[in-house]
Amino acid sequence: MAAPLHPDPNYRSPRYSIARTATRCWHCGQSTRVLALLLPEDHETLDPESAEESNAWQPAGGNAFLFYVAYLPDSVQRRLLQLSSTIRAAHSAATANRYWANHCEHCGALLDDQELHCETTGAFMPCSEAEAQNIELLQVHEPFEALAGGYAPEPEFLRFMRKA
């Protein structure tokens, strides 16, 4: 793969997918659309302990959702913003960091990535084939890189998510 476009990415891939689904807002209780980034099994991760070495990038060997994404290239940002006006860089009091976060379409509340990706009722943690079918995957055949604090390898029921 080519050299990174930004000095700090810790994930890169020759392509990626944008996952779309809906969830209930914790604040107003209404259904709202949310997005997430999914990397294919041939993506690479940066080993922070060997970041100065030539072999710092390692093959991941599996699909993974990224979350708490602090950096995205402009092309990925534009694509996300074309799909949703409610995803944007925001500061979270829970993490004390700034990251690309979903917000409720109705009340504007920040929808924390912990809830979307790590809880058993999370929008991107389906517990059944039927729940997975509510997630649509839009494949993007462009290079990708990101700096992310969260990584969910081998999402369960991935094969049941719908390809757009």
Per-residue model confidence as pLDDT tens for the chain (164 residues): 444 444 589 999 999 999 999 999 999 999 999 999 999 999 999 977 765 666 689 999 999 999 999 999 999 999 999 999 999 999 877 777 899 999 999 999 999 999 999 998 899 999 999 999 999 999 999 999 999 999 999 999 999 999 98
- d(Cα 92, Cα 69) in Å, to the nearest integer? 12
Model pLDDT, residue 132? 96
Model pLDDT, residue 52? 65
Model pLDDT, residue 56? 86
The 64-71 sheet, strands edge to edge: 57-59, 44-46, 11-13, 144-153, 64-71, 31-39, 16-24, 136-140, 162-163
Residue with tokens 């809906």: 22
- d(Cα 19, Cα 76) in Å, to the nearest integer? 13
Q: What confidence tens digit (pLDDT) does each residue in 66-92 have?
A: 999 999 999 999 999 999 999 999 987
Domain ranges of the chain: 11-44+60-163
